[in-house]
């Protein structure tokens, strides 16, 4: 499965290369919703920053939302820091006294870790220059997905974890793996979307969880516990990958607004990914197949599978993710 990916948030590129319209209304609705429910950080920094310098009236509204959302997130980080520093001070006072407790020791450990994490988040929020991780998405994050509706192409922000047709939030929580649409399950689990709602996510690399012993090509030693590592896979030569996706819209599901969600199609891995210890891989389609992929209703199923089979095949160089 594609545990994480680094998205391309270059909207000028979407417009020029794919003839797409940026769905500013949907971006505005998303930004309002994420501010309202306190999940602003689910929108990657690179995606937010792309709207910071507007060139239209609608763009000014988005830029205002970005500035306000970032200020509110900064305030929450500062409040969290203050609370954890107070917790740390109290714990250290108990540990320095005549009756140190296990609870105080645990509070010190937790507070210390949370302070470090929150300080890092605050520094990242305040940093103006973008780095690779600013464009990284995880299940539950939002990303720009290229789709086509009624002959018009749009770039729509969607949550990376698909809510299937007919599901509500309660059902969705029972199936957390719906960010991964397995190719061998497209006619079963994904039959309501495959052949009907196709999209493309542009990414420059992807990340996977891998067991260390599999990465090292060995069996677990006696008594050894399995250790997880995260690998970054970079296509060689470096390139934008047009990842095949399925998407859905749940009407009125997100505080009364439409909820757009998607999943990346994955398949058996190429040899270099399998050798690194992982058993799935995203499916980047070739540019010449974009038109047919985004219009699945006019193509037989065999043609859609042929597009997935005739995929782009860069060599995936891997490294331990920072």
Q: Which two tokens stand for residue 174?
A: 């029972």
Residues in contact with 69: Cβ distance below 8 Å, sequence separation at least 6, in sequence order: 31, 34, 35, 40, 43, 48
Contact 150, 52 (CB under 8 A): no
- Check residue 129 and give its pLDDT: 92
Give residue 299's pLDDT: 85
What pLDDT is attached to residue 1? 54
In a domain, 316, yes or no: yes
In tens digits, the chain (322 residues) has pLDDT values of 567 889 988 888 888 899 999 999 999 999 999 998 899 999 999 999 999 888 778 789 899 999 999 999 999 999 999 999 999 999 999 999 999 999 999 999 999 999 999 999 999 999 989 999 999 999 999 999 999 999 999 999 999 999 999 999 999 999 999 999 999 999 999 999 999 999 999 999 999 999 999 998 899 988 889 999 999 999 999 999 999 999 999 988 767 788 999 999 999 999 999 999 999 999 999 999 999 999 998 889 999 999 999 999 999 999 999 7
pTM: 0.91
179-192 as b/e, with b when 16 or more CB fall inside 10 Å?
A: bbbbbeebeebbee
Residue 27: enclosing H or E segment and its boundaries?
helix 24-36
DSSP 90: H
DSSP-derived letter for residue 65 is H
Q: Is residue 215 included in any domain, yes or no?
A: yes
Spatial neighbors of 260 by CB under 8 A, at least 6 apart, are 26, 145, 156, 157, 158, 159, 247, 248, 249
Tokens 């429910």 belong to which residue?
Answer: 37
pLDDT number for residue 224: 87
Q: How far is the CA of 127 from the CAs of 82, 133, 135, 321, in angstroms?
A: 21, 12, 14, 21
Structural domain contains residue 228: yes
User: CB neighbours of 39 closer than 8 A, spacing ≥ 6?
Assistant: none
Backbone torsions φ then ψ of 270, nearest 5 degrees: -70, 165
297: domain range?
Answer: 4-21+132-320
In a domain, 261, yes or no: yes
Q: Provide the CATH number for the domain around residue 249.
A: 3.90.1680.10
Tell me whether residue 92 is in a domain: no
Which pLDDT belongs to residue 75?
A: 97
Q: Is residue 223 part of a domain?
A: yes
Decide if 106 is inside a domain: no
- Distance of alpha carbon 264 from alpha carbon 243, whole angstroms: 7
Place of tokens 């920094």: 45
Residue 285 in domain = yes
Query: How many domains is the chain built from?
Result: 1
């Amino acid at each position: 499965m594609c545990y994480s990916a680094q998205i391309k948030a270059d909207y000028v590129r979407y417009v020029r290369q794919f003839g797409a319209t940026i769905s500013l209304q949907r971006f505005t609705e998303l930004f309002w919703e994420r501010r309202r429910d306190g999940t602003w950080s689910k929108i990657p920094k690179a995606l937010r920053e792309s709207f910071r310098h507007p060139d239209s009236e609608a763009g000014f509204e988005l830029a205002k939302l970005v500035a306000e959302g970032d200020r509110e997130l900064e305030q929450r980080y500062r409040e969290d820091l203050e609370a954890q520093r107070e917790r740390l001070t109290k714990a250290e006072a108990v540990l320095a006294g005549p009756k140190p407790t296990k609870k105080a020791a645990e509070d010190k450990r937790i507070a210390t870790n949370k302070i470090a994490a929150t300080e890092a988040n605050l520094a990242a929020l305040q940093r103006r220059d973008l780095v690779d991780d600013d464009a990284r998405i995880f299940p539950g994050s939002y990303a720009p997905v290229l789709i086509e509706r009624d002959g018009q192409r749009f770039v729509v922000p969607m949550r990376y974890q698909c809510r299937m047709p007919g599901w509500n939030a309660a059902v969705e929580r029972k199936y957390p793996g719906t960010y991964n649409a397995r190719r061998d399950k497209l006619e079963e689990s994904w039959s309501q979307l495959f052949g009907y709602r196709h999209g493309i996510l542009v990414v420059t690399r992807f990340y996977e969880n891998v067991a260390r012993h599999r990465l090292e090509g060995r069996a677990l030693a006696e008594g050894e516990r399995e250790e997880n590592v995260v690998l970054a896979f970079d296509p060689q030569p470096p390139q934008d990958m047009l990842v095949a996706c399925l998407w859905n819209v749940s009407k009125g599901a997100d505080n009364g607004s439409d909820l757009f969600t998607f999943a990346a199609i994955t398949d058996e891995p190429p040899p270099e990914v399998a050798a690194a210890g992982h058993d799935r891989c995203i499916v980047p389609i070739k540019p010449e197949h974009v038109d047919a992929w985004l219009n699945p209703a006019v193509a037989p199923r065999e043609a859609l599978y042929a597009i997935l089979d005739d995929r782009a095949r860069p060599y995936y160089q891997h490294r331990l993710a920072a």
